[in-house]
Structure formats: C-alpha cells, structure tokens
Amino acid sequence: MTVIEIDVVSDFVCAWCYIGKRKLESAIDLYQKVYPGGRHDTFKINWRPYYLGYNQSGHSVEKSELAKIKLADWSEAKTAAGTKRVEQAGRAVGIHFKYGGKIGPHTRDAHRLVYLSRGKSSELINVLVEKIFEAYHELEKDISSLDVLCEIALEAGVQKTEVDQWLNSAAAADRVDEEASAFREKIAGSGVPSYFIQDVHRLEGAQDVDDFMEIFVKVKEGKHVDYHSALGAV
C-alpha cells in the first residue's frame, strides 16, 4: 500500500480553491477505481491555510462591494468573461456559485477550526472543509462569523463542547498564522490553490483530473510515467 500525502494550500474565499477541491477528489476517486491496485492506496490530505485578505475594512462587508474594488481595473467585458469562466468550471464539478452575503476582515477562524480538527478522522475534516467552502460560495454565509462556523462544525460532526472551546478562545491562532506565512513563502507568490504532493511534486491552480492522475502514478511508480499508458493495462 502506498500513502500519497498532499498539502493543499488554499483560502476559503477563493472560488478556484473550491473548484480545485472537487477536481482533486475526482482524481483520487478515479485513481482508486482504475489504477491497478489503486484501491489499496491511501491519500492523506493536509489543508494548509492561506490568507487572501480581500477585506481590508476591519468589519464584515458585502462580497459584491469587495468585488467592485478587487476588479476595479477590469473592463465590463473582462469581468463578465471571468465570471462566466468560473461559473462554467463550477457547474462542471457540481458547484453553483452565488455572490450575495458578507465576509469579514479575515478567514483565520475558519482556518483555525480546520487546524484544530486535525486530530479527527479524515472524513470529518473533509466534510468540514467542504461545508465551509459551500457556506461562503453557495449559501451566501459570512464564514468570518463564529456563529456560522459553530453551525458548520456541528453539522460536520464536531462535538459542541469542543466547538465552543475552540471558537471562544484564540486556540492555535498563532500557529495558523505561522503556517499561513510559511506556505505563502513556499508558493512564492504564485497564488492558490497550490498542491504539494509527497512534498516533491507541485501543481498550481484548479488542475484537471489528468494532471493529478499523472503525478499520482509518478508517486506510485517512483518514476516518470504516462498514466494513460498505465491505464491501458487495466
């Protein structure tokens, strides 16, 4: 059995990070279904924090207002084309983006919640991460709100006593900040999502399933392999 470890560097307010999560999951599912012996291999996903810092106001602001600031230099046509591209990519993986709701000055507490859940099962952590992305991008919720994060954590299966203890304190705040800073340096300004597979291979952006698959096979075989050729042996 091979353990394939992946560091996923992302921020919850990043649409392409949400899309990338779905594509990574599809690639893992495909690998375990079609690659010889793949069902016996394990994937260890580490969710690493990154702060995009869209909101500089110090309080929660309507996402639509932040978008106007962020895209101020874009023409109307470029903005429409960019939005269409994201929406099409989202629909292809089952995401239906909405643009209402607010976001606070940082996503630290959302990342802190995921960091503090690292001792839980991989299934719970995945559900937690998925629900945070969904809350922001599809349910138009403010994921900087502790009440919203508490609701998400409880839905994911974290016990209420733990959620209250985590969110009503500054637990792990410094460690999350340090990790976010370290990974910002590691990706060297290339942006998110970024993926470090086995801490050797690197991918950037919401890659296609084929791109992930190629690297999974390289890790498995310990050499450069065309995964399409490998699949031909199935």
Cis peptide before 36 (omega within 30 of 0): no
Main-chain phi, psi angles of 139, to 5 degrees? -100, 0
pLDDT at 70: 87
Main-chain phi, psi angles of 5, to 5 degrees? -100, 135
pLDDT at 56: 84
Sheet containing 201-204: order of strands: 42-49, 3-10, 194-197, 201-204
Task: Assess whether pLDDT exceeds 50 at residue 205.
Answer: yes
Number of CB atoms found within 10 A of residue 136's CB: 28
Selected residue with higher pLDDT from 224 and 20: 20
Distance CA 6, CA 195 (A): 7
User: pLDDT per residue over 149-196, tens digit each?
Assistant: 999 999 999 999 999 999 999 999 999 999 999 999 999 878 899 999
Task: Assess whether pLDDT exceeds 70 at residue 209.
Answer: yes
Task: Assess whether pLDDT exceeds 50 at residue 16.
Answer: yes
Token pair, residue 26, equals 């599809």
pLDDT at 94: 98
pLDDT at 223: 57
Name the residue range of residue 91's domain.
Answer: 3-231
Task: Name the band, by pLDDT with cuts 50, 70 and 90, for residue 210.
Answer: very high
pLDDT at 233: 40
User: pLDDT per residue over 90-112, tens digit each?
Assistant: 999 999 999 999 999 999 999 99
Task: Name the band, by pLDDT with cuts 50, 70 and 90, for residue 86.
Answer: very high
Task: Name the band, by pLDDT with cuts 50, 70 and 90, for residue 58.
Answer: confident
Closest CA to 212 of 225, 222, 197, 223: 197
Number of CB atoms found within 10 A of residue 185's CB: 9
Provide the CATH number for the domain around residue 225: 3.40.30.10
Task: Assess whether pLDDT exceeds 60 at residue 231.
Answer: no
Average pLDDT on 1-30 reads 97
Count of domains forming the chain: 1
Task: Name the band, by pLDDT with cuts 50, 70 and 90, for residue 220.
Answer: very high
**What is the reported pTM?**
0.93
Task: Assess whether pLDDT exceeds 90 at residue 6.
Answer: yes
Greatest alpha-carbon span in the chain = 56
User: Residue for token digits 């600031």?
Assistant: 69
Share of the chain above pLDDT 90, in %: 87
